[in-house]
Structure 1
Amino acid sequence: MATVTLRHLLVATALLGGCKTAQPAVQTPDTGTTNTAQADCGPAIPGMEALLKPAAFIVLGEMHGTQEAPAFTTRLACHAAAAGQPVRVGLELPVEEQPRIDAFLASEDGALQPLTAGGFWTQKNQDGRSSKAMLQALVRLRELKRAGLPVDVRAFDAGGGDRDATMAAKLLQERALAPRDTFIVLTGNLHARRDKGAPWDPNLRFMSNHLLEAEPGLVTLDMAYLGGSMWACIGRSEDACKVQPLKKARYEEHAATPRIVVQKGATDEGYDGVYGVGTATASPPAVHAATALPTP
């Protein structure tokens, strides 16, 4: 069976757009010399300067299964790392995937099949987290790392009866290992809510609410979009997981172009602000279950 490599994915420029090149100075640990790392981060995102402070902890809430949210995450991470900030990108992937992620990031050839060999990528109900866009995000983050930028990736879905609590605990464990890094975390938008309670349970604590105890400077952003589509599982029937319409815009006044709007009390749903992605586009599963190979 032929090895599947990066050629089978969209090129990185299709993910990010633009042509601005960042050239940060990177210290070489073994020699102490300074090299110039090059990475195309795309145009600056309006509003990012106020957000990307050293040791920032940023949670991006998403609708799973879109092209735009993972691409926005990698673009933001690129700009932070290009400014010289060590960045840890947290992805809502099972912690069991971490060894495969580490091996992929360190690989010379960027082969995708070993990365996607776990059952997460081929399970029956794929809820959007195992999308092409998520796989492309991992490819992009590997490119940034190999370009010399200080970027790492951490899976934080630890499962359990209270996923919000266990995911927060995993992230705080990672934070303890790297207290000076900038954390950029992509998760479902409910997990990103900082306020306690929900209409169906006033005592419910989402992931970000758990994080606030140790990270009072946490900034949570919800995804703003102009409608569109997503890949999601709605219901339990055999065809529940499919392209679903996003019929209504969300935070329409901030959604038209990539931008970040941070303002305490900016939303009524427990976020510090929003990030715009334009019209959302569904991203289907990255791997064909029948062949266990990444889709072209």
Structure 2
Amino acid sequence: MKSFFPLLLLLLLSACATTRPANDIACNAPVNIPEGDLLLFGEMHGSVETPELVGRVACEQAKHGPAALGLEVPTEEQAAIDRYMDSDGSDEARGQLLAGRFWQKGRDGRSSAAMSGLLEQVRLWRLNGLPLSVFAFDSDNGGGRDKALAASIRNFRTQHPDLPIIALMGNIHASGEPFEFSDRTVVTSGTLLQDMNPVSILVRYPAGTVWACMGGSCEIHEIRRSSGSPVSPGFSEGSPRGGYAISFMLPSITASPPAVDQQ
């Protein structure tokens, strides 16, 4: 009978270790996260730091209740993402996640190693009880890219009206104002979602590198240091670009090549 109690204690401790409360998860999120149930982070694709930042913000939001992380990934990849979230994260599971055309052919920075790493981090958080879901919202419905992105986010909100959304997308799409090119005006996703009271957040950086398609080549590109007064890292009011009420300044930015190149 004496040997029963140590065994019982061990089982109880093991149970506690596998049912860790979500509130105990260390998100390492920045301070002063803007309030709102629809946060649109605008990025230059292809960095290590921005997916990490948005993941940490989503993690912090989910510690207070179920939340959703939206990614500018084709909706056709949703089933593969769902399977990966429920997987053991093995090499085989990762291979299945990256088998889709988006990961195999995409070179514009959205299919980066950092993005696949973000999915792995969310999988681990969920394994520890964090109520954070992931949804892909890039859909080509023939009506224009920004309109399609906005429609996908709106559709998700309709289906999940109580879930806060933290979405990561290109910095033109996330703007809350139309974007003026020399030959045309783009009505951005952020503009089309204004009735949902989005908070558009521009991710900034003083200098560094990104993996992006520029000047006819998809590769590592240098981002030169911008002129003007230095800005402290973190969230701040205002932005040098129209359509953004808030900025987040990164200390630096580092290129993240395509995930399939890192396998």
TM-score range for the pair, normalised by the shorter chain length: 0.7 to 0.9
Hey, what does 1:46 align to over in structure 2?
31
CA shift in 2, pair 1:250/1:210, >3 Å: farther
CA shift in 2, pair 1:225/1:197, >3 Å: closer
Whether 1:104 and 2:90 are equivalent positions in the alignment is no
Hey, what does 2:219 align to over in structure 1?
242
Query: Quick check: which one's helix share is greater?
Result: 2
Whether 1:93 and 2:79 are equivalent positions in the alignment is no
Hey, what does 2:96 align to over in structure 1?
114
CA distance in 2, matches of 1:209, 1:140: 31
Structure 2 counterparts to residues 202-281 of structure 1, below 5 A = 203-213=185-195, 215=196, 217-236=197-216, 240-249=217-226, 253-254=230-231, 256-257=232-233, 259-263=234-238, 266-281=239-254
Structure 2 counterparts to residues 278-293 of structure 1, below 5 A = 278-288=251-261
Structure 2 counterparts to residues 1-150 of structure 1, below 5 A = 36-37=21-22, 38-42=24-28, 44-48=29-33, 51-53=34-36, 56-82=37-63, 84-110=64-90, 111-123=93-105, 126-150=107-131
Q: Match for 1:70: what amino acid?
A: P
Q: Match for 1:284: what amino acid?
A: P
CA shift in 2, pair 1:131/1:252, >3 Å: farther
CA shift in 2, pair 1:197/1:40, >3 Å: closer
CA shift in 2, pair 1:74/1:275, >3 Å: same
CA distance in 1, matches of 2:121, 2:26: 10
Please tell me whether the aligned partners of residues 225 and 252 of structure 1 are also in contact (alpha carbons under 8 angstroms).
Answer: no
Q: Match for 2:108: what amino acid?
A: D
Q: Which moved more, 1:94-103 or 1:192-201?
A: 192-201
* Structure 1 residue runs without a partner (length 5+): 1-33, 289-294
CA distance in 2, matches of 1:58, 1:67: 20
Query: Pairwise CA RMSD of aligned residues?
Result: 2.0
Q: Match for 1:173: what amino acid?
A: N
- How many residue pairs match? The answer is 241
**How far does residue 234 in structure 1 lie from its aligned partner after superposition?**
1.3
**How far does residue 251 in structure 1 lie from its aligned partner after superposition?**
7.9
Hey, what does 1:168 align to over in structure 2?
150
**How far does residue 253 in structure 1 lie from its aligned partner after superposition?**
3.8
**How far does residue 203 in structure 1 lie from its aligned partner after superposition?**
4.2
**How far does residue 137 in structure 1 lie from its aligned partner after superposition?**
0.5
**How far does residue 115 in structure 1 lie from its aligned partner after superposition?**
0.5
CA distance in 2, matches of 1:40, 1:247: 33
Deviation string, structure 1 residues 183-236 (Cα, Å, up to 9, x no partner): 0000000101111241435642011111113x1x21001111011000001133
**TM-score, normalising length from structure 1?**
0.76
Hey, what does 1:28 align to over in structure 2?
none
Please tell me whether the aligned partners of residues 212 and 220 of structure 2 are also in contact (alpha carbons under 8 angstroms).
Answer: yes
Hey, what does 2:3 align to over in structure 1?
none
Structure 1 or 2, whichever has the larger Rg, is 2
Q: Match for 2:134: what amino acid?
A: V
CA shift in 2, pair 1:66/1:252, >3 Å: farther
Higher relative contact order (CA 8 A, sep 6+): 2
Deviation string, structure 1 residues 77-104 (Cα, Å, up to 9, x no partner): 111112x231110100011000000000
CA distance in 2, matches of 1:90, 1:223: 16
CA distance in 2, matches of 1:186, 1:150: 18
CA distance in 1, matches of 2:89, 2:253: 31
